[in-house]
Amino acid sequence: MANLNTYYYRVLLPHGAVRSGLLRLAVKRDISARVRLESETDGTVLSLWRFPGWLAAVANALLSLVRRQVRGEDLAGFLRDLGLMMRAGVPAMDALQTLVEESDSLDNRAIGTVARNMVDDLNAGVGMTEAFNRHPNIFPETVRNLVAIGDQTGTLDRMLGEAAEHVERMINIKRDIKTALIYPTFVFATIIGVAAFWIYYVVPNMARLFKQLQAKLPPITQNLVAFADLLTHHLPWVLLVTAVVVTAVVVAFRRSERFQLAAYTVMHRIPVVKTLLVSSGMAHITEHLSILVRAGVDLVSSLRILGRATKNRYYRSRLIQVAESVSRGETVSSSMRRVGGFPAMAVRMISVGEESGSLDLQLVHLAADYQKRLEVLVKSLAEILKPLIILVAGGLFIFLIVALLLPVYDLVRQSVNQSLGGVQ
């Protein structure tokens, strides 16, 4: 298998403009990258320089931090405006040039760069479908497939409108999920911060006071003091180990499919998290599948596209299995039922749609239902998590207070006994 190399290139396009940038390709020889660039741009490569492996890794990491990302809202607006102008009879080239000028006036450089590159591609004789396909990191695969269908059938303006609506619905789903996680994340972070303050500052001071007063410490207090001493004396190492573990988990989650599958499988067994993942995952699946089926994409291709587009590995692995079964002649509903992991109601409605020939309509109903469920869940999630948060916070602070009050109670008891003994 060829290595993934990073190149810096400068290409002279047919209409005289010079394009430069970074390109990542899985090729064995530099000549293959040169041929690929010239075939895709119909231009002449002026310079091509391959990054050393270590420099490529550093450059990609830095670029990911400083590169302006195209926001979902800007992408939806770009698709909607392009479709609207084309529906009004504006040629695609003029419509894109208008979007370039508008993005410059609004200082929206990220989407403006995309539009400008697409103008260069169209000037070089590249078709609209290929112009979209050259930006896979900007346009999701579902959007690119809708553009390809619209380009082939002469309904590109309508498909761009549907793509814009689809992107907006996906934005709403992601926003709902983030909203659902803000409250518990903030509360748990606050609890951890307060507990860390107590362990790092309050407990050591109390421990020194108990030592001066020669108080007898119960086992629970001894363990707490020992833990606080360990944390205080080895704080740099604790932070380093924590950072390494968190980094290792994040890297493994991003790069290891097995780790992702295991993580999602575990999360699908946690009560509240499972409900959130099922609602968001099925809203995503039914939304994508309904759009592709209505656009005329066959079921096998739709399921394979969906399998690649779905980030939830729990559903991705199952969708790939369903696609393989459907390619062998099995129905979608029976394959979903056999593979498992899909809600019974969704499988039943898909079965009805297959039997009655109204699969696209049933998928639309399912998508609306799961989006509504997700919306209701987000609104009620704070109320669902409040008892758990109170239980965790209460248990933690009861433990800290009891551990610190028991020695105080012992000191008071000793003082009272000594006072009574002196009176006698």
Question: What's the mean pLDDT in 98-125?
Answer: 80
**What is the helix, strand, coil percentage profile of the chain, to 5?**
80, 5, 15
| 66 pLDDT above the threshold of 70 | no
Left if phi > 0, otherwise alpha if psi is -120 to 50, otherwise beta: which for 329? left
Residues 6+ apart with CB under 8 A from 353: 359, 360, 361, 362, 363
> How many residues would you count in the chain?
424
Check residues 48 and 387 and name the one with the higher pLDDT: 48
Check residues 85 and 171 and name the one with the higher pLDDT: 85
Q: Which of 36-45, 223-232, 268-277, 415-424 has the lowest mean pLDDT?
A: 415-424
Q: Which pLDDT tens digit goes with each residue over 310-342?
A: 888 888 889 989 999 999 989 999 999 999 889
| 154 pLDDT above the threshold of 80 | yes
Q: Which pLDDT tens digit goes with each residue over 167-198?
A: 888 788 778 777 777 777 788 888 888 888 88
Long-range contacts (CB closer than 8 Å, 24 or more residues apart) made by 183-190: 183/381, 183/382, 183/385, 184/381, 184/382, 184/385, 184/389, 187/389, 187/393, 188/389, 188/392
Scan for tokens 């592709």, then name that residue.
Answer: 292
Q: Which pLDDT tens digit goes with each residue over 359-401?
A: 888 988 898 888 888 878 877 776 777 777 788 888 888 888 8
| One-letter identity of residue 40 | E
Which of 349, 359, 276 is closest to 312 using CA atoms? 276
* Domain boundaries of the chain, sorted by first residue: 4-66, 72-139, 165-424
Handedness of CA 94, 95, 96, 99 (dihedral sign): positive
Q: How are strands ordered across the β-sheet holding 44-50?
A: 18-26, 4-12, 44-50
Neighbours of 424 (CB within 10 A): 4
CA distance 382 to 276: 13
pLDDT of residue 1: 37
Q: Which pLDDT tens digit goes with each residue over 250-301?
A: 888 877 778 888 888 888 888 778 888 888 888 888 888 888 888 778 888 8
CA distance 37 to 31: 10
For 27, phi then psi, to 5°, come to: -130, 155
CA distance 293 to 290: 5
pLDDT of residue 25: 66
Q: Quick one: pLDDT band at residue 144, thresholds 50, 70, 90?
A: confident
The highest-level CATH class for domain 4-66 is alpha beta
Extract the tokens encoding 96: 């894109």
Give start and end residues of each alpha helix (H) in 42-155: 53-66, 72-87, 92-105, 109-123, 128-133, 141-153
Regarding the domain delimited by 165-424, which CATH topology (the fold level of the hierarchy) does it fall under?
Receptor-associated Protein (1.20.81)
